[in-house]
Each structure stands twice: as structure tokens, then as C-alpha cells.
Structure 1
Amino acid sequence: MSDLTYPEIGATAGVLPSGYHHVRAERVIGRGRIAFEQAADALLCGAVQRRAGATVRMSHTPLRVGTRIDMRLGPFGIPCLVVWAERDDDHAGFAYGSLPGHPECGEERFDLTLAATGEVTFTITAFSRPGRWFTRLAWPVNRLVQRRMTERYLRTLDSPAVR
């Protein structure tokens, strides 16, 4: 994992590091075991990013630690490496970090939780800062793009739209 462009590997699991823009967003996407299982299958196969409009290539499916993900959104290449992945009876998720060539430096985490109440919650946590000259130059626009992508990600797994 030495190729990652930031030192705080795994920080999306706890206290987010200072010096970065932080994102925390969540949404109830469905109810019940079937909704959770379908959403977890989709999440760990890259469907969230695809459904949000990115072209996605992954070195392994389902995602696991060490999977390289090469995304493209319009003209921008977005190379990432999975630094955490997990799936059990009531939780599934992964986090990826930025690799050289990514427009930003940082990490993004995608978590699904099946609560005892039956609610399935999708949570996104991220920290980032500009990683390229053009993202430094367009920082306010980048925040808007990140907010819109987070909103799109959160809606990709809605039940019964889980595909």
C-alpha cells in the first residue's frame, strides 16, 4: 500500500485527519435481510460507482483489500486501491484510497448496516484534499462535484432499485 498518496490509511474508520475536507453522509436505503444482501452484493462489485456514472475496472470482484480500482468520470482518471473490505451478517463495506494520478488525495469509505429494526443504512465517510494542479485551482468546484457524487452514490442502492 506504499503507492497511496496520503499517510492516514484507514482513518475513515475513526477520527478523520485534520488538513482535509471531510464528508459524512448517510441514508436509509431499504428494510430487511433481502434488501441488505442485494445492496451488499452490488456494493462489493462496484455497482455504486457505475450507477453514479463512472466507468469502473477492478482487479478483483468482489472487492477485497488490495483490489485496484480504475475509474473514469468524464475526462478524469481516478485510480484507487481498496484498503479495507468486510462483509458479515449485518455489515458490509469497503474503503479505497487515492493512487498517483487521482485528482485528489485521501480516502473514501462505503458502509452498509442492517440494524435490529430491519433498516438498511448506507453511510459514506471521506477525507480529501487536492492532489493535482487542476484540483487545487478548482477547489470550490471540486467540493460541489464531491457533494453531488456523494448524493448520487447514496441513491444507487435504494431498495427496490437494488439491481
Structure 2
Amino acid sequence: MNHSPVTDLSYEETGDSTVPGRPLPTGYRHLRHRALIGHGRAALDATGAAVLDWRMHRAAGVRITAEAARATPGTAVTCAIGLGPLRVGAPCRVIWTADGPDRHGFAYGTRHGHLAAGEETFLVEMGPDKAVWFTVNAFSRPDSWFAHLAGPLLPLGQRLFARRCARALTRIAAAAGS
């Protein structure tokens, strides 16, 4: 596992979403989503690559601009969410990665200018039974007047995004022959 020292994040609890089972920090909305996406090494390798090279995000409908073609600690990322002229940029920075042998993923934290403050981890793991699971572990709170105005729509959007990511990875796993 790799961690990156980061100074431009908009929250203090860096890394709290990266440890399975660790209680998420208070004062934030929490999201934990887990979905079975396939079985076997081919499914793990294909979905792990898709998480780390941003294909999962793109397949889930998010425009990604990143400093690197692959998630690595310290990489600045901007996710553009929304539709047409209502698309909003969400600046983040990769703060953690996991890459093998049975787990692949990353976490990014929000940077100043994001609608929310917090962190989100995306992880695919293969268990001893060869089942491949996708997990999203996140905490966030509104960090702008617009986000406060949106109220419960932001956590709803985050849950929908987690489900879209899981569906995208399920398709990628199936194409890999799981």
C-alpha cells in the first residue's frame, strides 16, 4: 500500500477511508457500498486495471482529467460531474493505492474548490473463494453554499455513482470471462 503526503486537501482525516472496518470520522456522511462483480483472477485483473486507470469512472459517466494515466499517490484528478452546462468540476488528489496481488484500488481526497470535503476509496478484492468484490468506502460533508443548498441530493448522487461503478465493473469482469 502506498500513501502520499498531501497538503492541499480540504479535510483533515486523511486515510480514514482506506482501512476496512475502521470507523469513519464523525461529522461526515458515510457511504459503504459492496457488490459482487465477478469470479476469478481474470475478473480481478481486468477490474483492478479499470479502477486504477480511470476506466471505471469513465464507464460510470464521469469525465476524468488526471495528471497521470494511472492512479498513483499524489496524482491530481478532476472529476467532472453533471450534464452539459451544469457540469461541475470536482478537484481531488490520490492519497493511497493498493496494487496486488489480490486487491487493487485507490483513494482520493477532496481538494479546495470541491463541492464537498472528504475522501473516497474504490477497491476490488478477490477472496479465498475467488469471488471478486468491489467496495466503495467514503465520508463527506458539504463544503460550499451550493452543496449545502443541494442537501440530501449529494449523498444520493454518491450512492448512485457507487452503484454505477459496480455495474461498470461487472460488465468489465464479464467481458474478461469471469
Shorter chain as normaliser: what TM range?
over 0.9
Aligned to 1:38: 46
Identity across matched positions, percent? 38
Offset, 1:57:
1.1
CA distance in 2, matches of 1:87, 1:150: 20
Alignment length, in residue pairs? 162
After superposition, residues 42-53 of structure 1 pair within 5 angstroms as: 42-53=50-61
Match of 1:55 among 49, 63, 77: 63
Read off the aligned partner of 2:48 and give its amino acid letter.
Answer: A
The equivalent position to 2:155 in structure 1, one of 143, 152, 155, is 143
1:116 match: secondary structure: coil
Determine the C-alpha separation between the residues in 1 that align with 2:80 and 2:123.
22
CA–CA distance in structure 1, aligned partners of residues 151 and 142 of structure 2: 7
> Which ranges in structure 2 are unaligned for 5 or more consecutive residues?
1-5
Q: 1:132 aligns with which of 141, 144, 149?
A: 144
The Cα of 1:61 is off from its aligned counterpart by 2.2
CA distance in 2, matches of 1:121, 1:107: 20
What TM-score do you get using the length of structure 1 for normalisation?
0.95
Partner of 2:9: 4
- 5+ residue gaps, structure 1, are none
Q: Distance in 1 between matches of 2:33 and 2:58?
A: 19
Instruction: For residue 174 of structure 2, give the secondary structure of its aligned residue in structure 1.
Output: coil
Is it true that 1:97 corresponds to 2:109 in the alignment?
yes
Q: How far, CA to CA, are the matches of 2:162 and 2:108 in structure 1? A: 15
What TM-score do you get using the length of structure 2 for normalisation?
0.88
Following the alignment from structure 1 to structure 2, what is the Cα–Cα distance between the partners of residues 114 and 152? Answer: 20
Q: Which moved more, 1:122-131 or 1:152-161?
A: 152-161
Q: Distance in 1 between matches of 2:40 and 2:108?
A: 27
Q: Distance in 2 between matches of 1:142 and 1:42?
A: 25
Candidates 155, 158, 166, aligned match of 1:154: 166
